[in-house]
Each structure stands twice: as structure tokens, then as C-alpha cells.
Amino acid sequence: MGIEILRRACAILIGALLLPAVAAAQEQWSFPAGSSPAIIDRMVKVAQLRDGDVVVDLGSFDGRIVLGAVRSNPKVRGWGVDIEASLVAAANETAKKEGLADRAQFFHRNAFDVDLREVTVINMWLFRSLTQLLRPKILAEARPGTRVIVNGALIDNANMMGNWLPDRVDRGDGTQSPILVWVVPARVEGAWSWQLPLGGEARPYDLLVSQQFQVIEGHARVGNRRESVSEARLQGADISFVMEVTVEGVGRTRHAFSGKVDGDEIRGTVTVTPAEGKPQQLPWVARRGTAASWFRATGVSIK
């Protein structure tokens, strides 16, 4: 009996100590009642919604993020999932009452079981551990260019995507919780090759690309000359980089590449500027293959 009384006393004491902290967190972040209207407005604005966007909220609570998104643009659709059935029912009822049920639906489902292939904006307002666990699914399923919008209120302003750093952070007026934005990058790591007509003949180019999320590096080869690329940038499916290399019979030449990644192909343009000569813009089509051509024997010629 004495042990039971002691256990209950400890529970009451712990509850008394924690209650003010919990109440303060609820007041500051409106948790678990959901995000405040001001935070919803910020998340919608930061997403930079466009006509045709499909917005999803993983852990949609009462649906307010998706509903805020579809209210902001009549050409935006959205859906949300939550593991609490009563919240899903409430969200669908709100959508119906507001005449938005044709563009906003909510489902009683686990976030790990949804299909992200057709969405363009992913919203999350979760604890860091769950956000990090959803990262592999997002990178595996979401299309390049998909924006991932995360309310940082519950993660103590720390990065919750591990070593995948955000592309943008909106801090509001400096006193508000941060809204973090990631853009799902195309997968470009590997060996790429193409040809360009320079100096009266087709020149073979090879490029090895290494990648860590949206950060990329490249090492190119033209004939027997190798150079590292600079100004490499990957934003969703858009890729660009600069290469300066000596092309046999042409001389030192600057190449500025810009294109869009589509699976194992890149299509775009390159502006070629010889050391002596005028710039010219050429079509650029690169295809991913094996690295064998980049590593082929070089020899001792210095031409």
C-alpha cells in the first residue's frame, strides 16, 4: 500500500511540473490543436503555389493546411492523411461545408502508405524523428521539383532532414517558428556523355557527376583533357554548370551548360565561348551511361 501511495504521489508531482511547460507549448504553437491561421498563411505563401499544384499534408489533423492551400487558388487541389479517424471525418466535413470537397479530400491512412508520385507540394508539421523517417520515402517517390514545406515549431529550430539541408528558410519576423523548404532534386549521379560540333567536327564529351541531395560536383573530359566543372547547380530537375577546357584545334573554351533532367537524359543548351572567337549557343543532349569512356587510357600526348 505504501509503495502504491508513493507511486501516485510521484505521478502527481511529475504532472504538476510538466503541466506548465505543456500548456506553454500549446499556447505558443497551438499544439495539439493545430497550426494557427498565421502559420497556415505563411506555409501557403512560402509554398509559392501555382495553377495545377497538388498539395498533400502528411499528418493533416483537421485539414487546415490543405484547406488553406485550396482556398488560396481555385486551380489547386489537395489531400491529407491522418491516423486519427475522427480528425479525418472533421476535415472532410469542413471541406463539404465550404464547397471544397471536389478539390480537398482527407483519408484515414498512415503517411508511409501513401503514393507521392503525383503531388507537387508536401506539407509536414511533425516531430523531427518522424520527419526524418519520411525523408527516404519522399526522395524515392516524389518527382524532381516537388516542394517540401515543414513547420519547424516542434523541432526546436534544428534541421530535421539530417544532412539534407533546406533550400530556403522563412523566419517570418524573427520571433515566429521557421518554415523550411526543400526542393526534391533529380538524380544525376553517374556518367554522362554527349557530342558538340566544334572546329568543324563532332567532339565527344564525358562527365562524371557526384551528388549529395541538391549539391553536385562534376569532372569532365574532352578528348584527352580533363577539367573539374564550376558553378554547378541543381534545383529540382534544372541543372547548370560551367566548364573551361582546352579543345584540340579550338583552344581554351568556356562552356556554360543549362538543361532539364528527365531520367537518364538531359536536354538544354550550351553557350560555347572560345578564347578567340564569338560565343555561340548550341543544343545540348546528354545521356547517362557507363563511366568507361571517361576512364579510357589517356597516353602521354600533351596536345
What does the DSSP assignment read for 68-128? Answer: HHHHH-TT-EEEEEES-HHHHHHHHHHHHHTT-TTTEEEEE--GGGS--TT-SEEEE---H
Q: Which amino acid is at 241?
A: F
Strands 201-212 and 215-222: antiparallel
Give CA–CA dist 221/236, Å, rounded. 25
CB 218 within 8 A of CB 241: yes
Same domain for 173 and 38: yes
Q: What is the DSSP string of 124-140?
A: E---HHHHHHHHHHHHH
Same domain for 175 and 38: yes
Interval 150-173: pLDDT, tens: 988 765 556 789 899 999 999 888
| Amino acid 38: pLDDT | 85
Say if 21 falls within a structural domain. Answer: no
| Amino acid 48: pLDDT | 96
| pLDDT above 70 coverage of the chain, percent | 86
Residue 272, C-beta contacts closer than 8 angstroms, at least 6 positions apart: 196, 198, 253, 254, 255, 279, 280, 281, 282
Last-in-domain residue among 121, 153, 183:
183
Interval 212-265: pLDDT, tens: 999 999 999 998 899 999 999 999 999 999 999 999 889 999 999 999 999 999
Q: What is the CATH number of the domain that holds 61?
A: 3.40.50.150
Please report the sign of the dihedral spanned by the C-alpha atoms of residue 209, residue 212, residue 215, residue 217. negative
Same domain for 203 and 170: no
Interval 69-84: pLDDT, tens: 999 999 999 999 999 9
Say if 157 falls within a structural domain. Answer: yes
Give CA–CA dist 225/186, Å, rounded. 28
Last-in-domain residue among 150, 183, 216:
183
Same domain for 92 and 154: yes
What would the mean pLDDT of 275-286 be, rounded to a whole number? 93
Higher pLDDT: 41 or 1? It is: 41
Question: CA angle 149-79-145, nearest 5°?
Answer: 40
Last-in-domain residue among 165, 183, 201:
183
Same domain for 196 and 177: no
Same domain for 129 and 200: no
Same domain for 45 and 105: yes
CB 251 within 8 A of CB 276: yes
Say if 27 falls within a structural domain. Answer: no
Same domain for 161 and 179: yes
Same domain for 113 and 249: no
Give 34's pLDDT tier (boundaries 50, 70, 90): very low
| Amino acid 10: pLDDT | 43
Place of cell 517570418: 172
Interval 111-156: pLDDT, tens: 999 999 999 999 998 888 899 999 999 999 999 999 999 988 765 5
Same domain for 174 and 84: yes
Q: How many domains does the chain have?
A: 2
Say if 276 falls within a structural domain. Answer: yes
CB 104 within 8 A of CB 95: yes
Please report the sign of the dihedral spanned by the C-alpha atoms of residue 160, residue 165, residue 168, residue 169. positive
200 is in which domain, residue-wise? 190-289
pTM, full prediction: 0.85
Q: What is the CATH number of the domain that holds 217?
A: 2.40.128
| Amino acid 62: pLDDT | 94
CB 240 within 8 A of CB 233: yes
Higher pLDDT: 29 or 84? It is: 84
| Amino acid 158: pLDDT | 61
CB 294 within 8 A of CB 197: no
Same domain for 168 and 103: yes
Strand order in the sheet with 104-108: 104-108, 77-82, 54-58, 121-124, 147-151, 179-183, 168-170
Same domain for 133 and 198: no
Say if 248 falls within a structural domain. Answer: yes
Would the pLDDT of 98 be above 70?
A: yes
Say if 236 falls within a structural domain. Answer: yes
CB 268 within 8 A of CB 244: no
Strands 121-124 and 201-212: unpaired
| Amino acid 33: pLDDT | 41
Interval 55-66: pLDDT, tens: 999 999 999 999
Q: Which residues are bridge partners to 202 per DSSP?
A: 197
Count helices and strands (H / E) in the chain: 5, 16
| Amino acid 194: pLDDT | 97
| Amino acid 16: pLDDT | 38
Identify the three-state secondary structure at position 37. helix
Say if 205 falls within a structural domain. Answer: yes
